[in-house]
Structure 1
Amino acid sequence: MLMKRLVFHLALLSLTMLMIPLALADPLPSWASGDNKSAIIDFVKTTTDPESDSYLPESRRIAVFDNDGTLWSEQPYYFQLAYALDRAENAPADTLSPALQTAVNERDLAAILEGGNEALLEILDVSHSGLSVEAFQADVADWLAKARHPDKGLAYTEMVFQPMLELLSYLRDSGYTTYIVSGGGIDFMRVFAEDVYGIPTQNVIGSTGNLEVSREGDRLALIKRGDIAFLDDGDGKPITIQRTLGVRPAMAVGNSDGDVPMMIWATEGEGPRLGVLIHHTDDTREVAYDRESAIGKLDQGLDEAASRDWVVVDMAADWRTIYAPDLQASPASDATP
């Protein structure tokens, strides 16, 4: 009898020792220790602890993320624009104006931006107008498999931020549902969102173009047409969240002024709320930019952050790794987990 009790207690002790490392495991290993990492972890812990005053039932654990500049890089131009530029470079003659075609061929971003939204829409239309949704997405998948970033030489899907992948996983493991809410095209992002981020296609919210139903015999197809039906940026973000989800998210993460309305709307709701801004400060491992940038401008957001108690992530200081460790693993200033 004594021997059985001894065996039982030894087994229990062994099990406890095995569980200790799991309990102490760092959910965000690529984040340097500090106030920002602690604030995120504390928010998740208190909103998932039934004994906490900040506890949220799983139905209210909703976190929304911008995509460009928040989950992956966005310089020197948005990656969907890189796709559109590649397709416009080989467009049939006279599809674009001669000046715009020259700017496209030379990747002259300043000249393209001088043309405003009209020029950008012209370029984007070339990449998809007249294609079925399936044909467009197959072409995007083929492009993502072959294209490389002009500066880093990496595949675009390799330029995903490792710390954000950890945050997405940590939230889902804690009962949160994660969504993308982006100004990028919804059909473009749905090609890779599940494989890259673990976010299913139905949880991707983005800008939508005009669609047309086409019937050929017994077959029905959705054909993409030109122009934007709804731009999911700025004030459009809280509108699409309300239309799609019907509730304010408990957590909103962005990186630019286009995300500010979404973050204000989310964090002004009742109960526990968290806003997180990704500030691109690392000119060595990525690109440093904010108030003056034509892409991913962060000006109003920096001004709003302090008064609204948002977490402002300093990429150079807060992230030990930018991309996956096997691609780039330079430590941040604080390399302590």
Structure 2
Amino acid sequence: MHQSHAPYRLRWWLALLLLLPVLAQAQDPLPSWKDGPSRTAIEAFVAAVTTEGGKDFVPPAERIAVFDNDGTLWSEQPMYFEVLFSMDEVRRLAPQHPEWKEQQPFKAVLEGDQKALAESGMEGLMKIIAATHSGMSTEDFIGQTRGWLAKAVHPRSKKPYTEMVFQPMLELLAYLRANGFRTYIVSGGEVAFMRAFAEEVYGIPPEQVIGTTFESQFQDKDGKLSIQRLPKLAHNDDGPGKPVSIDAIIGRRPIFAFGNSDGDLQMLQWTMAGSGKRFAGLVHHTDAQREWAYDRDSKVGRLDKALEAAKSGNWTVVDMAQEWSRVYPFEQN
């Protein structure tokens, strides 16, 4: 009897051995993060602040994590995606604005003149954004943004922009939330633009999305109520504007922050300046094969001063090429 059951036991053990890697992967909350210094630092920090009775324990109400968006949660090359949206909007709205044919920087956008567009600088960019982001209700703008995201594709990958998100960062957001953190976006991007997709793509609700804002006003037009967006900047949520927004809107200093550029430096510094155990991380774009490789000399997402601060402050710097087994969700692992 004992011998007759032996083959069955053997098959059972073989099946279990085959299943072990699958079970291990299913239990791994960060499958796209390779074993290495960044993953180790993240897991050690989360374990420390969530272990009740430990010296570094942080109550759930104080577990605030903030993330930049462009270059941190999704790609930002060859140009910030919101800028590409704005230029597409200029082309769409051009028939309603015949004066744009002779007016810079709109003329440069319509003619595809990259040199003239670059020469217009930040002032020209702000004119384009103001013209395409205002003069309508917030609801209409979000609707227009969602319409663009539904049909527009990235110039290199030909994938929708909402698929150009980083799979490891999606896993990190979910991992933090599973451990009692509230996750916020704190970005230089315009707030309504990000709110159009943040909940669906990142699982971050609109009230936890902080960004650059335009002035607005309440309107009652024949009983139709709306919030109208005005062509005047109210707050630039970049650089030192980020900790100002965090203080005004969240009201708590984060204990965990992730960015990728010099525009995130003050947010990371503000996070690390608090008491108790804290975490600051940078996504370092080192993967020219699967994404892009750039830092100090890039015109988009320049990483220079923040990289030096990370070295001196012992922050976590993620080497994308070495530490991520997968960059985008559409990649095979």
TM-score between the two structures when normalised by the length of structure 2: 0.89
Distance 1:199 1:151, change over 3 A: same
Q: Per-residue deviation at 1:93?
A: 1.3
List aligned pairs for 1:1-337, cutoff 5 A.
Answer: 25-90=27-92, 91=94, 92-95=97-100, 97-324=102-329, 327-329=330-332
Q: Once the two structures are aligned, what percentage of the paired residues are identical?
A: 47
How far did 1:212 drift? Answer: 2.2
Pair 1:171–1:108, CA change in 2 (3 A): farther
SS at match of 2:46: helix
Counterpart-to-counterpart distance in 1, 2:163 and 2:113: 24
Following superposition, the deviation at residue 228 of structure 1 comes to 1.4
1:100 shift after superposition: 2.2
Matched residue SS, 2:79: coil
Measured after TM superposition, the shift of residue 161 of structure 1 is 0.3
Report the CA distance between 1:149 and its aligned residue: 0.7
Normalising by structure 1, we get a TM-score of 0.88
Deviation at 1:130, TM superposition (A): 1.1
Partners of 1:320 and 1:329 within 8 A in 2: no
Q: Kindly provide the CA deviation profile for residues 259-294 of structure 1, in whole angstroms up to 9, marking residues without a partner as x.
A: 000000101110010000000110110111111111
Preserved CA contact (<8 Å) 1:28 1:163: yes
Give how far 1:103 is off.
2.5
For residues 111 and 43 of structure 2, the distance between their equivalents in structure 1, rounded to whole angstroms, comes to 45
Q: Secondary structure at the match of 2:118?
A: helix
Report the AA paired with residue 328 of structure 1. E
- Per the TM alignment, residue 61 of structure 1 is displaced from its structure 2 partner at its CA by 0.5
Unaligned regions of 5+ residues in structure 2, if any? 1-19
Deviations 1:97-122 (A, max 9, x none): 54423421355555323212220111
Q: For 1:216-265, what per-residue CA distance to the aligned partner results, in whole angstroms no more than 9, with x for missing partners?
A: 12222111111311000000000000001112100010000000000001
The answer for the alignment partner of 1:9 in structure 2 is: none
Residues of 1 paired with 2:26 and 2:138: CA distance?
A: 46
One-letter code aligned to 2:33:
W
Shift in CA distance, 42/225, structure 1 to aligned 2, threshold 3 Å? same
- 1:196 & 1:230 partners in 2: Cα distance? 25
8 Å CA contact 1:87, 1:126 repeated in 2: no
Distance 1:24 1:158 in 2: 22
C-alpha distance in structure 2 between counterparts of 1:180 and 1:108, whole Å: 33
One-letter amino acid of the structure 2 residue matched with residue 293 of structure 1: S
